[in-house]
A and B are shown apart, each in its own frame.
Chain A
């Protein structure tokens, strides 16, 4: 019995050892992220911690893809860079969570434990937070050593990525390179709009008549269809109501982003416009996720970014398209320029290799590959990449996103002079209270900047 037990134990250990015997470091022996359809023969390497392959250094990198297909494309891009790179260093790609804040939460935890990847993507609003904590590397010395040209990227993200907190202005810093950009557009249910007898927003935009009045007319007519139908839907995320404030000529901050700008007459005008839409019953209730209702075919126009396109292509069964945002009193759409950047972990042991990877991930060729998937707009002002983006249909009117870019959008930006998460929390609560009728606009205007002052003291 003793012998059998020992033999059993040895066999079990052997099997476990065999099962653990994945040949790490070889890209052909690894698997794609779960649930992805990886392009042929290109699959994501397994995530491993701080390992080195037999040839040298392994750089770990991570993005937050918007869907599994995008994760597979990033994996294949990583493999392509790995292959082109030769023996200099190997890559290990770790796709992050698809949605929600746990991506950053996990990252923060890993940084605290010293197990974060060498290169990772973070949203533009987090750049200041990560920089002020000393979590990301200033790449300026590496970039200037080879005269790296950042002028090909859109200037709005680069403003923040080159921001020098000590000088209080862009300077001789480089916190990363932008992965991609996006703007808002209105996702339209053309069938519902036609049924309501409203004008086609795309035609109105083409004719230069797509403004708040025209927008309100369309959503009013769709709502008048009755039943579950609503003219408009938006999520309760800051960017959605921010569009109206921007389009009215206001904004979240003052000119140099060092103080609250929510109480200006222009910002209040934007807020009044949103409140009028909700008070008029023209929209899916504020706080509800508008996307399921739009996909169910009961909403005329739903505001969202380019990242919603793959979901629309997959799930929508009616005739749909996109149109640029209507122009507000300021003559502008008030659009945002959303962006995120690849940054380098301040504790990386291989900054040069990490920098090489950041550059490789943001080349025009790489961005064109991602653009073909239609999820986001390239962060470089590259015609080839833009063409690849425009060629991805439906939606037919991809130009709406590009028009948003050309309309001087406000860059989704970090708060260098305070805490953006705190500001967002305080602002969002107050705006929600106004829209839901629990607080008057007058009270909001009188107190909001003193209420949010805490964020600038953080």
Chain B
């Protein structure tokens, strides 16, 4: 039906008339942009907060310029004008549509959706059942389009869904929302936003048409580019607003002393970065000197004994430096612990031994388990007095004659010496299953002939693993190393749960950079400094990943596998 030729249709709006209307709309946009700019720039009692004011000014200028360019171009029928007009109207439609939804309470009232669904859950399930019938009937009809049973099932499914929909509406009772929408839609600002959304939507719809493209002489390449951008736009817009925008915003914030509570901000340049990275070293006559030997504002980070001389290394933000040390140790331990077992295990699971599919599923389970639940369970396992790990160690000592049992259980997560190691165990346990799956996928791409040749040559299992499997999985290993390293460097949730009630404890033994910046932002109320820490961490992760890429590239250039 979609492909059926419906014959020539008389355009509802002649192209030139439509373009003139779009041009007029863009001129309205120019005027509105100027007015918006003036309103945003007003001072006195009605002045907007600085950040909102700046945003509104930039937004208004952008809207004005875009509309002006589009108006001029469409008036002159310039080839690029259609693209400019389309992009302008489309973005304006997205922005005004989002603003309209906000004004109607769609975002803040999302909880209502769950409440309404809860009230009408039974009819909702009946609708689902009806639609399932339709789906099943469709599958059956695809094999035999004339079968009576599936046709009946499809009709019954639609009927059931339709009846249940009425039941659903009655049960959910939309009167409250309709009344709320009625109240809000009559407000001038909401009406204005609605008008902008409708106009920009209609202009987009019109300018998108093929006949308009012909009128503007749009090339096929441009059409393809526009189509591609249109398909990409949901992701691009989401990326821009929810990732790139906040990222850049945090960069801006990092140059300010910016309170999380919004109660103060002042530009401090790179002071936040200087504070985070400042170190001071001083010699001392005594072995365990305190802050007094350091510059004011510095605290002891560590004591050193070099060539018989006592040194004190201090930092302005000791906690951050300790977190960097911790995360470096964690990285060195956790990445191999997550990757090496996965590599070995995947080689076993890739074999055609009976029951391997079950084991593949079992090993993947930790990866899909919620990190909070996992951390809580591990916390109970690690408990020194009533935890299972110590219980098993103590019992093993009783049963096995060659094991010397400790006098009492070890405090795994509350001891400085093993707290970070405990986090490594949990992290590795959670991630090696997913890495195993990645390696299993890598195994599929290894040519079987290599193994057959090795078999003929009489290679043993270790030689096959060392000389064929490991080199052939080089690219997979690279990917696994990169992703696991990034995850390790961003460690937060496991520490947050396992080191409760003092996150990062004992005595900062498990503090990580992400934990440090979280505490700085939400407990220290220093969003600016926390943002600077985040960017330092970003640079570390970026540098680490870049180095790994370079190493991979060099390895590939020099022949790669051995």
Contacts and interface: CB of A to CB of B under 8 A. Distances in A.
B377 interface: no
A438 B416 contact: yes
Contacts of A24: 112, 176, 180
A296 B391 CA distance: 14
B385 A288 contact: yes
Interface in A421-444: 421-422, 425, 428-429, 432-433, 436, 438, 443
B291 A18 contact: no
Given A24-B112, A48-B109, A287-B413, A18 B386 contact: no
Interface in A409-458: 419, 421-422, 425, 428-429, 432-433, 436, 438, 443, 446-447, 450-451, 454
Size class of the B contact interface (CB-based, 8 Å) = 35 or more
Given A108-B261, A451-B299, A21 B112 contact: yes
B113 interface: yes
Contacts of B172: 18-19, 21
Given A22-B116, A288-B385, A432-B507, A47 B111 contact: yes
A428 B380 contact: no
Contact of A46 (B111, B168, B288, B416): B111
A129 B525 contact: yes
A293 B501 contact: no
A418 to B, nearest CB: 13
Interface in A45-68: 46-49, 51
Interface in A282-330: 284-289, 292-293, 296, 298-299
Interface in B379-424: 379-380, 383-386, 408-409, 411, 413-416
B522 A105 contact: yes
B558 interface: no
Contacts of B112: 19-22, 24, 46
Contact of A20 (B174, B386, B501, B524): B174
Interface in A1-37: 1, 11, 14-24, 30-31
A284 B290 contact: no
B463 interface: no
A237 interface: yes
A228 B524 CA distance: 39
B536 to A, nearest CB: 20
Among A419, A422, A432, the most chain B Cβ lie within 10 Å of the Cβ of: A432
A265 interface: no
B414 A111 contact: no
B501 A237 contact: yes
Among A112, A293, A299, the most chain B Cβ lie within 10 Å of the Cβ of: A112
B168 A18 contact: yes
Interface string A212-252: 00000000000000001010000111000000000000000
A292 B116 CA distance: 40
Contact of A21 (B116, B288, B409, B411): B116
B177 A292 contact: no
Main secondary structure of the interface of B (DSSP, over half): loop
Contacts of A298: 385-386
Nearest to A112: B262
B235 interface: no
Interface string B241-272: 00000000000000000011111100000000
B261 A236 contact: no
Contact of A450 (B264, B292, B501): B292
A134 interface: yes
B108 interface: yes
A421 B523 contact: yes
B6 to A, nearest CB: 10
Nearest to A114: B262
A156 to B, nearest CB: 24
A450 B292 CA distance: 8
Given A105-B522, A108-B261, A287-B411, A236 B506 contact: yes
B385 A230 contact: yes
A20 B117 CA distance: 8
Contact of B506 (A14, A287, A447): A287
Contacts of B264: 133
Contacts of B119: 22
Given A23-B173, A293-B383, A450 B290 contact: yes
A15 B177 contact: no
B178 interface: yes
B385 A287 contact: no
B343 interface: no
Among B174, B260, B292, B527, the most chain A Cβ lie within 10 Å of the Cβ of: B174
B252 to A, nearest CB: 15
Given A24-B112, A450-B292, A451-B299, A112 B117 contact: no
B523 A105 contact: yes
B118 interface: yes
B21 to A, nearest CB: 25
B505 interface: yes
A286 B502 CA distance: 12
A69 interface: no
Interface string B494-517: 000000111101111000000000
Interface in B119-152: 119-120, 124, 127
Given A108-B522, A288-B383, A438-B507, A428 B173 contact: no
A48 B524 CA distance: 28
A288 B389 CA distance: 14
A425 B168 CA distance: 54
B175 A23 contact: yes
Given A228-B385, A286-B506, A292-B383, 8 more contacts: A18-B172, A19-B112, A20-B174, A100-B501, A109-B260, A228-B386, A289-B379, A292-B380
Interface of A: 1, 11, 14-24, 30-31, 46-49, 51, 100-101, 104-105, 108-109, 111-114, 129, 133-135, 228, 230, 235-237, 281, 284-289, 292-293, 296, 298-299, 419, 421-422, 425, 428-429, 432-433, 436, 438, 443, 446-447, 450-451, 454
29 contacts: A11-B165, A14-B169, A15-B169, A18-B177, A19-B113, A19-B124, A19-B168, A20-B113, A21-B175, A24-B176, A31-B115, A46-B112, A48-B109, A104-B522, A112-B260, A133-B264, A228-B385, A236-B501, A285-B384, A285-B385, A285-B414, A287-B414, A288-B413, A421-B523, A429-B505, A438-B507, A450-B290, A451-B291, A451-B299
In the complex, the 10 A-B pairs of residues with the closest C-beta atoms, listed nearest first = A287-B414, A21-B174, A19-B116, A285-B411, A23-B176, A105-B522, A21-B177, A18-B172, A18-B174, A18-B169
